[in-house]
Amino acid sequence: MDGKPDGEITVHTLAYSKADLDAAPADERLFYLMAGSIANDTAILNKAMLVSLENEDFGSKISGQGNSTSALFILRMLSGRLAEAAKLTGQKNKMIKEKYEDDLSEEAKAGFRGILKYFSGKSSLLLKVRDQMAFHHLSDFVEPAYASLDDAHELGDYMHVTSGNTLYYTAEMLHYEALKKLSGLSHEDAISRWVDDALEQSKNFGDFLGGFALVFAQRHLQQSLEKLERESERVPVVDLHKLALPYFTLPPDLPDNS
């Protein structure tokens, strides 16, 4: 990056006070605030994942494996966040259905129903990833994954004088083996389904949470909503496709050939 933006977008500010939020029912206010956190987290993780998936490997096998490690770590974190968001949505299901569903846009309704349908099923790959791969390092996941490797399977780790450029790749290979077992699919098909499910559920949450926030604002932040069009600012942005998030980088304060 050269330090210059690639363009600008218009961002509108929905300004309100704590007193404005205090006037809303507590259960609706709580979900609005927690939904905002979900929306922020999934937006950040989705952008990071898309950037990491487009990293250039410069024809290097090691670089490519490092980049895939970064992408799959972000995907594991996204899977876990989506699963936790689905848990919250399920807990607030009664309130949403009784107070909000009828007033949601068709797109938001479809997102809400898509979330409930996907995460209520035992076949949800994102839930399986959350429980066994995203945050937990259970021996009953590691040992079977290791045992599934052929004796002649090539293993190895990549070592550098800095920990930030050291990659314990055998540990990452166990994630691939675990994913194959969780999904019942081949390596390539399992990754494809995982990415597709994460993107689809991210869209469902984006549609639903945006719709919920709009109805909440219409009911409880009407004065703020009326000022929304006037409260705008042009914000400099960069092209997502020009960004990179590679695993291997030049170490700080070390020469290029280190």
What is the residue whose two structure tokens read 């980088």? 249
Q: What is the mean pLDDT of residues 53-60?
A: 82
The 10s digit of each residue's pLDDT in 137-188 is 556 677 888 888 888 888 999 999 999 999 999 988 888 888 888 888 988 9
pLDDT value of residue 85: 95
pLDDT 10s digits, 193-225 = 999 999 999 999 999 999 999 999 999 999 999
Instruction: Give me the percent of the chain exceeding a pLDDT of 70.
Output: 93
Residues in Cβ contact with 243 at an 8 Å cutoff, skipping those fewer than 6 apart? 1, 51
The residue among 156, 59, 130 whose CA lies nearest residue 67 is: 59
What pLDDT sits at residue 137? 57
249: left (phi over 0), alpha (psi -120 to 50) or beta: beta
**Residue 59 pLDDT grade (very low, low, confident, very high; cuts 50, 70, 90):** confident
Q: If residue 256 lies in a helix (H) or strand (E), which one and from where to where? A: none
Predicted confidence at residue 43, as pLDDT, reads: 95
> What percentage of residues in the chain have a pLDDT greater than 90?
66
The pLDDT of residue 58: 81
Structure confidence by residue, pLDDT tens digits, 91-146: 999 999 999 999 999 999 999 999 999 999 778 999 988 887 765 555 667 788 88
Mean pLDDT of the chain: 90
The reported pLDDT for the residue numbered 258 is 53
Reported as a single tens digit per residue, the pLDDT across 21-38 is 999 999 999 999 999 999
Confidence at 2, pLDDT banded by 50, 70, 90? low
pLDDT at 201: 96
* pLDDT category of residue 4 using cuts at 50, 70 and 90: confident
Residues 6+ apart with CB under 8 A from 55: 67, 70, 71, 244, 245, 246
User: What is the predicted pLDDT for the residue at 255?
Assistant: 55
